[in-house]
Amino acid sequence: MSIRKSLQFTAALVAAGVLSAGPVGAKPNGIDVSNNNHSINWNSVRSSGMVFSWAKATEGTYFTDGYLAGNMKNGKNAGIYMGAYDFARPDLDTPQAEANYFWNVASSYIKADGKTFVPMLDFETFNGHVGASSYGDWANQWCNAIVSKAAAKGLSVTPVIYTSSCSACNLSGISHSWGAWLANYNGENPQSGNPWNICTSCEVWGSGAWDIWQYTSGLSVSGISGSVDGDVYNGSTSQLIDQFLVGGSFQAAVELKPSPITYTNGHRVVFATQDNGAAPWDSHTTGVSGNGTWTGEWLGDNNAQMCASAVVPVLNTNGYMEIFCVGDDLGYLRHKWNTGEGTAWSTWQTVGLDGTNNYVGNPAVVLRQDGGVEVFVHNDNGGSVQHYYHGSFSATWNDGSLGGSIGSDCAAIINANGYLEVFATDVNGNLVHRWNTGPGTAWNSGGWVSLGGGNKGRPCVVARNDGGVEVFVRNTDNSVNHYYHGSFSDTWGSGSVGGTVASNISATQNASGHIEIFAITSDGNLWHNWNNGTGTPFNGWAHISLSVTLQSDPTAIVNSDGTTEVYGRDAATSNVGHTYNNAGTWTAWSSLGGPG
């Protein structure tokens, strides 16, 4: 899939630095590939900064790309969002016949696993339109056929259409619901330019509209022999995922949020996964609050262990720090640990070698009062939840399924009465929960119980000091829903705390008993809202002014000295940074220098 251009023009772009494969600014980079690129080392591609890719599946009704299977599997395993595409031959086939051919080849790779992007139609041939009144009608029919076929499989897709900026004139009547992918090798910087410096009369998606821009066919990327098509998305990584991730019985856009925690002496550490390279990392300091001196370290095993999820920590009762993630090697749940602050880390180990479960999304981890650890993670078989647990650090791991059709990561708490309770949003938008009454007891009968509908994304849960529970989750209109009760046996109440947010919520309870919630808006700004204690109203959303915009969910923590600290990822660099409340004033954003 490429539009021809001269070798001299490619060389000029390379000399100008436009064709750098690494991440530059906030717009995520990607590539599109076919049999012309032969065998690809996808781990190297990911390490070079690529976030997404589409791989050729078919051309017309006469060609199947033999590299499709390897590209889809290995690209996903490397942590790249992968989609499949059809090179359209409207001059030879009806749109229904070509959609049938594409679906027969590609459907097994199109699934709601949190790793797959929607199908793409590559429209470059304009020599006739069989079975359609126009090229736009042909494209609409093909896309509608794919939407129907996906729906019959329980999937939700909205295809994207690729063409050149000037060829878009041929697609008059195209539905604006299909994504717009434009090719134009105009020499502009992909992070600041756009594909509409020519042929502006061809803007059939609307004035200046584009989602993906193929800005070159001469990109040099580690892991690929020769040049490859280079693409950039017109937005943030989270917006890219929201727009193009296949939806269905399980949908989880993996959010690589930072995960802070403190040792028993108050010393702080924050864990994260490299945004483009999937390498786990931490930064730690001996300070209990403030900026201090932070030291970063990579946590892979000779660069062999990569994480396809956030790194989630727990401090065991014996002082061991233990971290969990979903590995990028077939999606096993992995963990590693040290034996106390400053000690060496173990190698990564598999938690329960469950060959039938290919896990996706971020694990939820909770420490029981008796020293046991509970871990909850999705498998990709309809979004059911797998539960791992042990009674002490040296004990054998056990596991079992909690079932469900869950559409978000889980959140788990231990109630004041020792009950273990886990929350999630199901595929129908219901906030649901399950519970047991303590270590070794059975889970509630009847499965997942709904607390209310109209939700999306991962819930955030706070176990209050007085035994009550507060749950915050995004409404489908991007306001924030609030669920709460005073004790486990009380009836749940619910309401809205308003706002218009673009991230999942993070919440804390400070030493005064105030609940404070944090979220990111669509422009990358950090906002917060708070009450003055149990039963009091929330005060309204207020902006925390920072020198950066953020791309990840925020993560808040109350430090041992009572300071509230918020961590996030800078949209420009993907590095982790933080701000904290110093005597009522939020400090300037401070970068911790990694992991990028």
- Identify the structural domains of the chain with CATH numbers, from first to last: 29-244 (3.20.20.80), 259-592 (2.120.10.70)
Residue 357 has pLDDT above 60, yes or no: no
pLDDT for residue 57 = 97
Separation of alpha carbons 152 and 174, rounded Å: 24
Candidates 65, 86, 93, 122; catalytic one: 122
pLDDT for residue 523 = 83
- CB atoms inside a 10 Å sphere around CB 294: 21
pLDDT for residue 358 = 65
In this prediction, residue 326 has a pLDDT band, given cuts at 50, 70 and 90, of confident
What is the mean predicted confidence (pLDDT) over 268-280?
Answer: 79
Residue 456 has pLDDT above 90, yes or no: no
Burial 227-255 (b: 16+ CB within 10 A, else e): bbbbbbbbbbbbbbbebbbbbbbbbbbbb
Residue 208 has pLDDT above 80, yes or no: yes
pLDDT for residue 16 = 33
Closest listed residue to residue 590, CA positions, set 560, 562, 570: 570
Residue 359 has pLDDT above 90, yes or no: no
The region that residue 534 occupies, defined by phi over 0 for left and psi between -120 and 50 for alpha, beta otherwise, is beta
Residue 399 known to be catalytic: no
Closest listed residue to residue 54, CA positions, set 195, 141, 183, 173: 183
Strand partners, 389: 374, 398
Q: Where are the beta strands (DSSP E) in 226-319?
A: 227-233, 247-248, 259-262, 268-273, 280-285, 295-298, 312-315
In this prediction, residue 572 has a pLDDT band, given cuts at 50, 70 and 90, of confident
For strands 212-220 and 179-183, give the pairing. Answer: parallel
**Residue-averaged pLDDT of the chain:** 88
Burial class (CB in 10 A: 0-12, 13-18, 19+), 498: middle
- Residue 218 phi/psi, 5-degree rounding, is -115, 30
Kindly state the helix (H) or strand (E) to which residue 147 belongs, with its residue range.
helix 135-152
Task: Name the residue with higher pLDDT: 565 or 535.
Answer: 565
Alpha helices, H only, 180-266: 237-244
Give the CA distances from residue 595 to residues 32, 292, 297, in Å, rounded to whole numbers and listed in that order.
26, 18, 9
Residue 59 known to be catalytic: no
Candidates 32, 86, 98, 374; catalytic one: 32
pLDDT for residue 360 = 73
- CB atoms inside a 10 Å sphere around CB 125: 17
pLDDT for residue 256 = 74
pLDDT for residue 11 = 31
- Enter the tokens of residue 436: 């047991």
DSSP codes joined into one string, 342-379: TSPP---EESS--TT--EEEEEEEEE-TTS-EEEEEEE
Residue 341 known to be catalytic: no
The mean-pLDDT minimum among 172-176, 274-278, 320-324, 557-561 falls in 274-278
Task: Name the residue with higher pLDDT: 451 or 107.
Answer: 451
Residue 221 has pLDDT above 90, yes or no: yes
pLDDT for residue 237 = 87
User: What does the pLDDT look like over 485-529, one tens digit per residue?
Assistant: 988 778 999 999 999 998 899 999 988 889 999 999 888 899 999
For residue 554, whether the previous peptide bond is cis, meaning omega lies within 30 degrees of 0, is no
Assess contact for 4 and 167: CB atoms under 8 A: no
- Between the two ends of the chain, the Cα-to-Cα distance in Å is 30
Assess contact for 553 and 532: CB atoms under 8 A: no
- For 41, the 3-state DSSP assignment is coil
Kindly state the helix (H) or strand (E) to which residue 151 belongs, with its residue range.
helix 135-152
